[in-house]
A and B are shown apart, each in its own frame.
Chain A
C-alpha cells in the first residue's frame, strides 16, 4: 500500500482591518499542517476577509492634550500597593498609601475612574496567580470604597505574572512584582 501524503498547507495571511495598533492579527497560514494521507492536488485556501471587530471610538474631549496631561499628572501621584508572598491582605503601611489615594480620588481626581491592576511574582501557575492578583486588586478596591470612593468608579483586572516590572530571579524582584497599580480612566 503506497499512500501519498499531501500536506494540508494553506497560505492565507489574514489580518484585522480597521483595528487599532493594539488589535491582534490572526494568521491562519499553515495552521493545518498535519500531513493528510490522500492524493490530491495542492489545496489553496481562498483568502477570506476577517470579521472586523468594532473598536469603540475614543472620546475626543478626553483625548485633548490638557485633559490627558492632567490625568497623567494625577496618576503619577498614585502609589503602588505591595503584598507579601501568596497574600492579599493590606498591611498598615499600604493602608496609609491607599487612604492618601482616596483623598486624591475625591478631590483632583474626582472626574476620573480608576482601574486597579493586580500583579503577581513568577511563582505559581498562571491561573491561580491571576486569581491571586485579582484578590489583591479587590482588597485595594474594598479599602478605597471604605474610604468613600464610589465602587462604580473602580474596575479591576488581573495580569497574573504576565506584567512584571522586574524580571530578575531575586527575592527583591519578586517583591516588586507582587503589587497593585492604579490606572486612571476618563
Chain B
C-alpha cells in the first residue's frame, strides 16, 4: 500500500513538473520574427513610432516571439540582415510619401531569404498610421493560418468626462492611439455600437429634462431620440443582429433591466427586484447576464428570457459590479478587498455558466470596463495602476495580456 501511495505521489509530482515544463516550452516554441525598416520618407521619430506600433500589434497576435531591435536595411536587399539570420521570419517594410502626400507602405514577409508573403498599403495621411500597423498584423495572422483577429480592425467608442457635467464621446482604434471626438459639448455618456459594422451608435444624453437614449448614424451624422426615462437611461448592450437592446431604465425611481425592440419600438421589463438591477448583457438571444444587489451586495446573475429562470453565476468577490458576456462565458469585475477605503484592487475574472471554471485574468490595480470582442476571442479593458491608465487586451486562448498606455483622461464607459 505504501509503495502504491509513493508511486501515486511520484506520478503527481512528475505530472506537475511536466505541466510547468510544457508552458515554458510553449513560449520558447513560438517562431521568432524580426522587423527590418526600409523607410525612405518622414523623420526618425515617426519611423520609430510606426515600428513600435508594428511590434506591439505583432505581439498581440501572439504567434511570434517578436524581436524589439529596430534595424534598417534597403528594401530590395536580397538577403536578411546578418543579425537576423537566425530568425525564422523577417518582416521588412518601406514607408514612403507619394506625390499626393499619402503614406504608402510596402511590406514583405521573409522566411530565410525567401519572400513568402507581401502586400502594399496606402493611407491618405500619416496621422492614421496605426490602422496600417493593425492591418499588417491582421494580414500576417491570416497568412499564418491562425484564427482571424477581426477585433483588431474594430473601433472602440468611449466617453470621457472632461469636467463636471461635461463629456466627450470619442472613436478610437483598439489601442486608443488614434482618437477622434465624434460628440463634443453637453453631457453625453454610455456610448454603444448599434451594429456590428459600427456605422451607428447609441448614447445617453443627460442634457434633456429626462435622461434620453439617442441614436447617431455616423455616415449621415443624423441624431434621433429613441426613448427617455426619469432618473436613468442606459443602453447596456445591443444584440448581435442589432434588433434588441438591453436598457437600464428607472420607472418610478426603480432601476431595472428592460428588453427594447428596435423595430417595434416596444419594451418589456425583465427584472423586478426592489433593489438595483443594472448592466444587462446578451449571452445569446434568450439568456442575459446582469448585475444585481439582491443578495445585499452586487454580483452577477443570469436570466433565461423564455423561462424567466434566474440563477446566480458568480460566488467569488465582495462587490461584482460590471460584466460582459460571450456565449457561456462571463468576464466580471470584482473588488478584492472588503475595506471600502483601503487601496482597493479590482480584478477581472472569467467564469463559465456550463462548468465550474473560474480564472483570474488580472493581478494588480483597478481593472474595469471589460468587454468581449464579438467573436469572444479577446477581452478589452482599462487598467489603472500607479497613476497610469492603460488599455488592456486579454488573449484568452494564449493566456496573455497586453497593455497600451493611455495619454490622458479617465474613461467613463467603453464599447468595442
Contacts and interface: CB of A to CB of B under 8 A. Distances in A.
Interface of A: 1-7, 9, 12, 14, 21-35, 37, 42, 45, 48, 50-51, 53, 85-86, 123-132, 134-135, 137-138, 141, 155-159, 162-165, 171, 174
Nearest to A84: B340
A52 B190 CA distance: 22
A126 to B, nearest CB: 6
B221 A128 contact: no
A9 B221 contact: no
Contacts of B277: 131
B164 interface: yes
Given A24-B186, A131-B248, A171 B341 contact: yes
Contact of B278 (A7, A53, A127, A138): A127
Contacts of A130: 232, 234, 248, 255, 278
Interface string B250-294: 100111000000000000000000011111000000000001000
Interface in B131-162: 131-132, 135, 153, 155, 161
Nearest to A133: B232
A157 B206 contact: yes
A29 B190 CA distance: 21
Contacts of B412: 126, 162
Interface stretch (B44-52, B212-220, B309-317): B212-220
A6 B121 CA distance: 7
Given A9-B128, A12-B221, A34 B155 contact: yes
B122 A5 contact: yes
Given A30-B128, A31-B171, 14 more contacts: A12-B221, A25-B183, A34-B155, A48-B220, A50-B222, A126-B189, A126-B190, A127-B279, A128-B322, A134-B255, A135-B275, A138-B253, A157-B230, A162-B412
- The size bracket of the interface on B is 35 or more
Nearest to B169: A24
A33 B174 CA distance: 12
Contacts of B167: 162
A163 B164 contact: yes
Contacts of A34: 131, 153, 155
A42 B124 contact: yes
Given A34-B153, A138-B231, A128 B223 contact: no
A14 B298 CA distance: 42
B231 A156 contact: yes
A28 B341 contact: no
Nearest to B133: A35
B184 A25 contact: yes
B328 interface: no
B223 A51 contact: yes
Contacts of A162: 161, 164-165, 167, 187, 189, 412
Most buried by A among B161, B186, B221, B368: B221
Contacts of B216: 26
B236 interface: yes
B230 A141 contact: no
Contacts of A124: 298, 319, 321
Contacts of B291: 125, 127-128
Contact of A9 (B124, B161, B220): B124
11 contacts: A1-B119, A2-B119, A25-B184, A32-B219, A35-B121, A126-B412, A127-B291, A131-B278, A135-B275, A157-B211, A158-B211
A3 B120 contact: yes
B413 A127 contact: yes
A137 B231 contact: yes
Nearest 9 CB-CB pairs, A to B? Answer: A138-B253, A125-B322, A5-B121, A131-B255, A24-B186, A128-B321, A7-B123, A14-B221, A125-B321
Contacts of B121: 4-5, 35
B63 to A, nearest CB: 21
Contact of B223 (A45, A50, A125, A127): A50
B344 interface: yes
Contacts of A24: 183-186, 188, 205, 207, 223
B104 to A, nearest CB: 8
B62 interface: no
